[in-house]
A and B are shown apart, each in its own frame.
Chain A
């Protein structure tokens, strides 16, 4: 931990020096930068930074929790791969884990402190990066578990760290997509498969269902497939593989490319009644409560980017997550807010 602190101070000193020396046009600051900027030794700030990266590379065994995700892709891809792999091993030793995805997102809570400090030392062009931009950076990195950018503007009202709620949201539905990478004859599939329905006048895809895990898939003629109804990420992947096997057995050269979880829905019960009118008054910028249209309050949390449906009975539905940890984090964020409205 001490080495981490000293490296952090070293890094921050250099950043301060860069701020004094370099004009805003520094490769650190823009997420998308043309290639020709990355000439080592071309300018003073960059050499300083590159040499520092060398140090980072060597000692990244102890450097597991520094957030390097603000760096643009080309510069850090290889460094980040190595540091991520190393940090992954670190975390496996240090933390209790629940699932594959949540391993990398756990250090994020610690990163927030460091990330905030490191971000605040950069110029303002970074401070307004919203998770929307973070998504695009993530997708360009092509890493399913990359750490997202942290913005310094407080997105949720600050609450003191209290004990956790003790309630765990249950996952109810997972939507995932996969590319079978071959053109499909939907009429043939509907003819040869018992569990398929195909009505081209109504919808241009075959609707296929399997019993275990109980899911439904939409299979399109382009070879793309959407799988819905699973209760966990692993089940969704297993179900998608089963559908691909069915398509294979029907004679198509189906593969299993780009499996990606697109949406996760969870729900839970806080077990006390909630004054929705009060909640919409205090959290107006996040909430939308129209009893004439819908009985629940729609809360759009910014970090993590999740939509919550909050009902007067205390039931909460969380949706819009790409990872399980986002749902848990969103619930931990909303629970203290809801507790504030417990007594009428």
Chain B
């Protein structure tokens, strides 16, 4: 607390500013001794002992601000401190909260919404400064539902007319990867699983960039992709010992939650790597599968730009260009080269195993679930005659009405008997 304060009784420096019936006092929080007491009036000689009062407490500024708004502003500051954000963020977030509070729709909203609004203001501030904060983190901290959060977030962005930039993927990779507890040996993490942070970060970043280029990131939640990329990076740095470790076990070791979609992102990423491996002559002979390709991720990432260009095509196959490139690539063992040459002279385009695949998002590569037939062109005018019989098919006959009423009464009686009021 403010410098130089010692309790005369116990000597501790834990002095707390408190007030007793609006008389401010300085109290020791250890022994309860009242160190100094403010007086309601001061004499000239006493003024030397007085302490500074902050502006917000002296001018009654808080009296103009409603209690719930004050609570909200305090929550915003607390949240910024918990997240260890720079102090400038705090002021911006507070300003956004105040701005939001000027709208009557926000003032009249439920407390739950005002709680969530606190998180929205902090998130917008972080996004505008490119600080990688995910909505999942904020929802966990606020114990809020993502649905409620998303509704309030979209509303407040529209209401305040703000431009919120997208989440910065590279920064998110760095912060997320740093949270994995794999950089030091511990009782739960054996030595062979410990990894160097810098190496893992750079490899993860390269894998995430590869995923972005091959349409695995657009339209999807960013975090599971990063989890899958971190896992692959970690495995590939020491494959001999780590291939046996599964994704779920990896996340448990690293003390990180495993997001649901991460396993399917992992499979997609491995499929992309396999396609790239088919373009490298010395890997073609090995006939890799999803487990063995992990050993060669380092090589694949080194040449990733060329490999992606060769392994995938945007439109219909440019078979001539592909063949030329294959013959020009003189690397690798002679045996491999022969195999490539024989393959290129082989069967037509579609049957070649290494033919370029389409570079498309996975949702476009899957076959459509059901083909919707185009609706028949109807020549309805809206003013056609409506036949009586058509309407009568929807009405109950008097006998049916009586039966229905009897059945309803019987059901109500049965429920009345079984559930006595």
Contact = CB atoms under 8 A, between A and B. Distances in A.
Interface in B152-174: 153-154, 157, 163, 166-167
A145 interface: no
Contacts of A344: 213, 215, 314, 359
Contacts of A292: 134-136, 167, 221-222
A234 B374 CA distance: 18
A293 B394 contact: no
Binding site of A, secondary structure by majority: helix, strand, loop or mixed? Answer: loop
Given A191-B404, A194-B395, A314-B364, A280 B378 contact: no
Interface in B393-417: 393-396, 400-401, 404-405
B378 A343 contact: no
Interface string B163-191: 10011000000000000000000000000
A227 to B, nearest CB: 12
B192 to A, nearest CB: 35
Interface string A200-223: 000000000010110000000000
A312 B219 contact: yes
A242 B353 CA distance: 59
Given A192-B396, A273-B360, A312-B215, A293 B150 contact: yes
A313 B363 contact: yes
Given A193-B396, A245-B386, A232 B378 contact: yes
A193 B397 CA distance: 9
B378 A246 contact: no
B364 A273 contact: yes
Size category of the B interface is: 35 or more
Contacts of A295: 219-220
Contacts of A294: 150
A285 interface: yes
B125 to A, nearest CB: 16
Interface in B227-246: none
A237 B218 contact: no
Given A231-B375, A311-B219, 10 more contacts: A191-B396, A191-B404, A234-B381, A250-B395, A277-B166, A277-B218, A284-B163, A291-B222, A292-B136, A311-B363
Interface of A: 170, 191-195, 210, 212-213, 231-238, 241-242, 245-246, 249-250, 273, 275-277, 280-281, 284-285, 288-296, 311-314, 343-344
Interface of B: 134-136, 146, 150, 153-154, 157, 163, 166-167, 213, 215, 217-222, 314, 359-361, 363-364, 374-375, 378, 380-384, 386, 390-396, 400-401, 404-405
Q: Which 6 A-B pairs have the closest CB atoms?
A: A237-B382, A234-B382, A312-B219, A295-B219, A234-B380, A293-B150
